[in-house]
Amino acid sequence: MGNLNWEVSALGFGCMRLPTKSIINKETNSSKQVIDKEYAIEMIRYGIDQGINYIDTAWPYHDGESELVVGEALKGKYREKVKLVTKLPTWLIKGEEDFDKFLNNQLKKLQTNYLDVYLLHSLGKDLFETVKKFDLVTKMEAAKANGLIKHIGFSFHDSLKVFKEIIDFYNWDVAQIQYNYFDPNYQAGVKGLKYAADKGIAMIIMEPLWGGKLTQSFSEVEDIIKKAHIKRSLADWAFQFLWNQPEVSVVLSGMGELWQVEENLESANNSAIGSLKKEDMEIISKLRKTYSKFITIPCTNCEYCMPCPNSVNIPQNIRFLNDFIWFGEEQRERFEGLYTKFLKTKEELKESEGKGAGNASLCIECGECIEKCPQKIQIPEVLKKVDAILGKKQKISNFF
Ligand code: SF4
Ligand code: SF4
Q: How far apart are the first and last CA of the chain?
A: 45
Give the integer Cα–Cα distance in Å for 172 and 131: 14
pLDDT tens-digit series, residues 23-32 = 887 777 777 7
pLDDT of residue 355: 61
What stretches in the chain show pLDDT beneath 70? 353-356
Q: Which of 342, 344, 363 to mutate to test the pocket of ligand 1 (most atoms within 8 A of CB)?
A: 363
Give the integer Cα–Cα distance in Å for 391 and 281: 40
pLDDT of residue 356: 65
pLDDT of residue 103: 98
| Atom number of ligand 2 nearest to Cα 379 | 7
Fold of 11-288: TIM Barrel (3.20.20)
What are the structural domain ranges in the chain? 11-288, 314-398
| Atom number of ligand 1 nearest to Cα 368 | 5
pLDDT of residue 66: 97
pLDDT of residue 353: 65
Give the integer Cα–Cα distance in Å for 15 and 6: 21
H or E element that contains 246: none
| Atom number of ligand 1 nearest to Cα 311 | 8
Closest CA to 314 of 269, 369, 270: 369
Which residue, by CA, sits nearest to atom 4 of ligand 2?
302
Give the integer Cα–Cα distance in Å for 151 and 242: 24
- Find out whether the beta carbon of 380 lies less than 6 Å from any atom of ligand 1: yes
pLDDT of residue 395: 94
Its pTM stands at 0.81
